[in-house]
Amino acid sequence: MIYVDGVLFPDENSSSSSSSSSQKQAEWLTNVEQGSSLLVDVMTHPVIISASETFKNLEEQKVTEFSSLKDRYVYVFQREYAVVNPALVDFVGMDEATTCVGLVIRNRRSGVTSIAHMDSPKVVDVGIRQMLSLVLEDDSDAAELDVHMVGGYEDVDLKNANGGGDYAKPQGYSFPLCCKLVYTLQKRRENFHIQTLFILGHNTKLDGQGNTCPIFNGCLVNTSTGAISPASFNRSSRCPDELVRRIRVSASFEDSSWKGKLLDTYDTKADRFIIAPCSWTMRLVEYVWELNQLPDEEILVNCSTSPSAEGPDFVDNERRIWKYLLKYPEWSKTFPKRQPHVFERTANGSWKRC
């Protein structure tokens, strides 16, 4: 169930009507059509519009290695999630989202906060279950959960692409993902209070060439207060094990053990990073060798869902991933005996490999 401004959304009449209609359609079509209508209704709610305007006017927080040492941070990459305890972690965040969405779920009473970098509708159902695993209290029906979404933008012109506002057949990547997220939260039994929906039209601007692109690519949550702000991280603050964690995103598509799941990253109770192992095949290594021969412009087109909206270091990050895979083509060299990489926080706030 979702709530907006403390009120169940949508009301019973529209909800029951929508449910009756859904029984006559295939599940995937139901998700798209119901999710489309629900998403548009929520995004146009006056409270959500006001919250988006407030978020848009916030200053983007730039997280560096210094700031991440001064306070206790947890960062998640694409397709990762983490659940953090405010007694152990001060801030949790993500960035680099274009067509992806950062989803935050926070328990109002305990402050326990879950964050994920969602990149596909296919990981939403299981991913939200993973996120809630340690957020819910003993009585999950009574838990009040605040929800924020940041990222995703109008990577297609929705008004023109669907014949003047027909949202039933969305194109692009951002819209189907956002539909799935809102629809999945609405059909679950927990109480989700939508606080921020800085996605799609709310998070879209034009660049110098007239292309649509996101206003903000990331967010940062204060775990003690629940306050959220736009954020960006530099390479040194996206730690630990930055490169291996990037590689897992690509490798997870070949690893059947991760199908439909978010990637395990963090030990909530011990405040440790536990980078769960992932395997890859020679097919992936051969593919990245071919990609590495391409010029930068073609890499953007072939490797990004939003070539015109990527950050300046996108291609460099891709080439660093490929260089590693070509140097270590056997996954067992990275994860011997399929054991995870474990990192503990040191006294000065940095991370040390165990």
- Convert the chain into a string of H (helix), E (strand) and C (coil): CEEECCEEECCHHHHHHHHHHHCCCCHHHHHHHHHHHHHHHHHCCHHHHHHHHHHHCCCCEEECHHHHHHCCEEECCCCEEEEECCCCCCEEEECCCCCCEEEEEEECCCCCEEEEEECCHHHHHHHHHHHHCCCCCCCCCCCEEEEEEEECCCCCCHHHHCCCCCCCCCCCCHHHHHHHHHHHHHHCCCEEEEEEEECHHHHEEECCCCCEEECCCCEEEECCCCCEEEEEECHHHCCCCHHHHHHHHHHCCCCHHHCCCCECCEECCCCEEEECCCCCCHHHHHHHHHHHCCCHHHHHHHHCCCCCCCCCCHHHHHHHHHHHHHHCCCHHHHCHHHCCEEEEECCCCCEEEC
Residue 194 CA to residue 202 CA, distance in Å, equals 15
- Predicted model pTM: 0.90
pLDDT at 34: 64
pLDDT at 139: 60
Q: Which residue ranges in the chain fall short of pLDDT 50?
A: 12-26, 28-29, 158-169
Which CATH number covers residue 29?
3.30.1330.200
Count of positions (residues) in the chain: 354
pLDDT at 44: 95
pLDDT at 10: 83
Note the pLDDT tens digit of each residue in 229-270: 999 999 999 999 999 999 999 899 889 889 999 999 999 999
Question: For residue 329, what are the domain limits?
Answer: 2-353
- Dihedral of alpha carbons 201, 304, 113, 235, sign: negative
Residue 75 makes CB contacts below 8 A (sequence gap 6+) with 63, 68, 92, 93, 94, 233, 237, 238, 239
Number of structural domains in the chain: 1
